[in-house]
A and B are shown apart, each in its own frame.
Chain A
Amino acid sequence: MANPILETKEVSAWFGKHQAVRGISFSAEPNTINAMIGPSGCGKSTFLRCLNRLHEEVEGARVEGSVLLSKEDIYGQGVDPVAVRRRIGMVFQKPNPFPSMSVFDNVAAGLRLAGIHKRSVLAEVVERSLVQAALWEEVKDKLKQPGTSLSGGQQQRLCIARALAVNPPVLLMDEPTSALDPISTAKIEELLVNLKNDVTIVIVTHNMQQAARISDQTCFFLTGELVEAGETSRIFTNPQDTRTEQYITGRFG
């Protein structure tokens, strides 16, 4: 592949003695959506959390291997995990706006952290991020209300806006629609496809139709291993591995 923006080499991850991710090598091209599918407990979330060094925050957790973001190893010597996380956005399964912060403050949190406090700049970026997250029209009159007062689907788009505000080149998403209703899910799927112009997305999904609808590359995980990765249309029409075929035709998982 030509010029991957994100590349992993033999990444393994442990919770104490339990190995959840086994030597995964994977790469993502710029401006693509990359879907991770596979049965529950196969290590998708754990792998995703290795990509922004969040896994190591769990007590007793450990990672091996390397993750290259624009050719630079984020697990390299002297790399500060906090700095890594500022360049890689993340959206979680459950919407998690910061409590007792307004809609505006939620989106502005990352900028303020980066030392940007000028009101006009914040306002501009907050608006841009909310537009990108397809939420602006719904909340432009509610910017001062608590983020937690929005509906579940709106909260999740607020979290997307919060992640986008700092302009990360890569956005990680862990089953972002699994707690939402079909209409909110459709909205988010649509906005993800539009977001591709600005960011590279790695999305874990439980929903194979979702992977088929929106992703460019699909990766199939099983018991901590990457069984097969490839162009989405190819994976769903012509899987090379029989386990992939069994999974996508619904025979297990």
Chain B
Amino acid sequence: MEVSLQPAAHTTGRLRDRLSFRDFGRKWKNRGMRLLLLVMAIAAIAPLLSVFIYVFQQGGSSLNWSFFSEVPVPVGETGGGMLNAWVGTVTIVLMASVVGIPWGIAAGIYLSEYGKGKLGNVLRFATDILTSVPSIIIGLFAYAIIVVPLKRFSAHAGAAALAVIMVPFVTRTTEELLKLVPNHVREAGLALGLPRWKVVLWIVLRGSAGGIMTGVMLAVARVAGETAPLLFTAFGNRFLSLSLDQPMATLPVQIYTYAISPYEEWHRQAWAGAFVLVIFVFTLNLFTRLIMARRR
């Protein structure tokens, strides 16, 4: 059958104009729109680039070996570093991860595999709300239930606050990724005589391990930079401390303290700290993406 690309003869007037294939105006509108969107897209990444460049300019030159190997010196003296802060950040983030990651993954498995009923919906809703609660509120909560009763700021309290911030992110990522595994794959496992929990752990979870790891790393990177919830939980410490029940320094809080101080030397160190933090978060992101790319 011949198919004509021209409008039928009986289509008249304006309708014919609309159906015409020779509409140059449309082509230009299309190009204009595309250009506009391109400009907006570039504008969106401009702040990111400027932050990178600025932090690099300010912090890169102040960065030296003693920044990593020494603790702060008393005001007035030059030198010293942030050994206490980066060790503190690593410790607290590690503690938060050890609790928050398995907890979040387990909750995500529940929501995806067993959470079809009312309880599942309630939990899902609660998780979504928790994701959008400002982190300072979580910090206040940790302050109220850990710091106040124990009458002491501590690394524990800081880690607890960060873990609570992590859990809903990890939960929702896990749930979303498990839901991508088609149901007939689960049925294949059941039909082979696997009990449901083994199907979930061996087949479904394993099949999405790569994606879940990405979500986990992004959650870790996110809490590594959190400041507000640590201000009144881990608090800060001028000395290197590894006692988990004592106040502990962290990079974000130390950057904050130094940045608002009146001392030139401390400002310099704050920029160096900011630079290290940005590099840390950036590396974590990049690393995750590289792993993902290799798995494909």
Contacts and interface: CB of A to CB of B under 8 A. Distances in A.
Nearest to A86: B193
Given A59-B116, A113-B198, A98 B193 contact: no
Interface stretch (B58-66, B164-172, B203-211, B252-260): B203-211
Interface in B162-210: 181-182, 184-185, 187-195, 198, 202-203, 206-210
Nearest to B180: A99
B191 A52 contact: yes
Contact of A85 (B181, B193, B203): B193
A201 interface: no
A108 to B, nearest CB: 11
Residue among A84, A94, A96 with max Cβ neighbours from chain B (10 Å): A96
Given A59-B116, A113-B198, A96 B192 contact: no
B191 A94 contact: no
A86 B194 CA distance: 8
B184 A96 contact: yes
Contacts of B182: 94, 96
A96 B203 CA distance: 11
A109 B203 CA distance: 10
Given A98-B203, A98-B207, A100-B207, A82 B187 contact: no
Interface string B90-124: 00000000000000000000000000100000000
B206 A110 contact: no
Interface stretch (A2-10, A26-34, A159-167, A228-236): A159-167
B187 A92 contact: yes
B190 A85 contact: yes
A202 B181 CA distance: 27
Contacts of B185: 96, 98-99
A109 B192 CA distance: 8
Contacts of B198: 113
Contacts of B181: 99
B209 A98 contact: no
Interface string A79-98: 00011111101101110111
Contact of A82 (B184, B193, B208, B209): B193
Chain A, interface residues (CB within 8 Å), range = 20 to 34
A54 B183 CA distance: 13
Residue among B116, B189, B192, B206 with max Cβ neighbours from chain A (10 Å): B192
A57 interface: yes
Contacts of A98: 185, 188-189, 203, 206-207
B88 to A, nearest CB: 37
B157 to A, nearest CB: 39
Contact of B187 (A54, A89, A109): A54
Interface string A132-165: 0000000000000000000000000001001100
A113 B207 contact: no
Contacts of B206: 98-101
A100 B209 contact: yes
Contacts of B208: 99
A54 B207 contact: no
B184 A113 contact: no
B207 A82 contact: no
A90 B189 contact: no
Nearest to B189: A98
A68 to B, nearest CB: 19
A211 B187 CA distance: 25
Interface string A89-133: 110111011111100000001100100000000000000000000
B112 to A, nearest CB: 14
A227 B206 CA distance: 44
B187 A57 contact: yes
B207 A57 contact: no
Nearest to B182: A96
Contacts of B191: 52, 54, 85, 89-90, 92, 163
Contact of A113 (B187, B193, B210): B193
A93 B185 CA distance: 12
Nearest to B117: A59
Interface in A158-179: 159, 162-163, 166
Interface in A165-211: 166
Nearest to B210: A100
Nearest to A106: B188
Nearest to B204: A99
Contacts of B192: 85-86, 89, 109-110, 113, 162-163, 166
A246 B123 CA distance: 53
Given A97-B188, A98-B189, 10 more contacts: A54-B190, A59-B116, A85-B191, A90-B188, A96-B182, A96-B185, A96-B187, A99-B207, A99-B208, A100-B209
Interface of B: 116, 181-182, 184-185, 187-195, 198, 202-203, 206-210
8 contacts: A52-B191, A87-B193, A92-B188, A96-B187, A101-B203, A101-B206, A162-B188, A166-B192
